[in-house]
Amino acid sequence: MGQAVELSVIAPVFNEAGGVVALAREICAALEGRSFEVIFVDDASGDETRALLTGLRRDLPQLRLVGHRRNAGQSRAIRSGILAARAPLIATLDGDGQNDPADIPRLLQRFLRADAPHALAMVAGQRTKRADPQIKRLTSRVANGVRRAILGDGAADSACGLRVMRRDAFLQLPYFDHMHRYLPALLRRDGWAIEFCEVNHRSRQHGQSKYDTLGRLRASVRDLLGVMWLVSRARDPIGIDEL
């Protein structure tokens, strides 16, 4: 499969054997008729996730599989997939099946519309009706409010995994663990434009969440301080001209 592709879909997965086959088929069905590839990044799963995806490649020629030798987290898995991607445009979605692949064509259409800003780097999903436990929705709402007030990134739902973005813009960003939650702020820091679009959100049918509330809170405080520093140290040349 060496031909050019329009879109690379990146799905990081860790111990998602219960739903990974259905998700891969859903993604391919949603993008039927387009030129695309689907890259699942297995973050060193301990279950049958990798074996199931390996076997599925016989049925889905667009499917590629990248595997970490040890668990490195969601941000690293996303970056590994984007580094392996062949398309100039990237779509990402969570591997737990809660993001709806049917939303990808809509985000892509918005990104590619004729009147899109020249500097548009990402159209990010926003889950307006989250199918999560109440405590998770509450803590996420508070965290999003604090982050948005401090960073001014305009994102009401920075943790939504569903996005369409430019591969080259992402690869210019500084990498750190959990960076996927700060993509709007990081891209705007580099002078890119960001837009948001409402997307569907589904209840988890298989497996369990890989995050705990207290652990996420500790990491969020540390990461927020780091991103604040990065944003404060940015200097924008407005444009670069070859003279």
Full-model pTM:
0.89
SS3 29: helix
> In this model, does residue 212 exceed pLDDT 90?
no
Residue 59 lies in domain: 7-232
- How large a percentage of the chain has pLDDT more than 70? 89
Residue range 95-153, pLDDT digits in tens: 999 999 999 999 999 999 999 999 999 999 998 877 666 666 666 676 777 777 889 88
Residue 243 located in a structural domain: no
Asked whether residue 209 carries a pLDDT value surpassing 70, the answer given is: no
The answer to whether position 238 is within a domain reads: no
Reply yes or no on whether the pLDDT at 2 is more than 60.
Answer: no
Looking up residue 146, the CATH number of its domain turns out to be: 3.90.550.10
pLDDT in tens, 11-40: 999 999 999 999 999 999 999 999 999 999
Q: Tell me the pLDDT tens digit for each residue of 30-85.
A: 999 999 999 999 999 999 999 999 999 999 999 999 999 999 999 999 999 999 99
The backbone torsions φ and ψ at residue 132, rounded to the nearest 5 degrees and listed phi first, read -125, 165
Residue 1 in domain = no
* Structure tokens, 124: 């990010």
Put the strands of the sheet holding 36-42 in their side by side order: 63-67, 36-42, 7-13, 89-92, 163-166, 120-127, 193-199
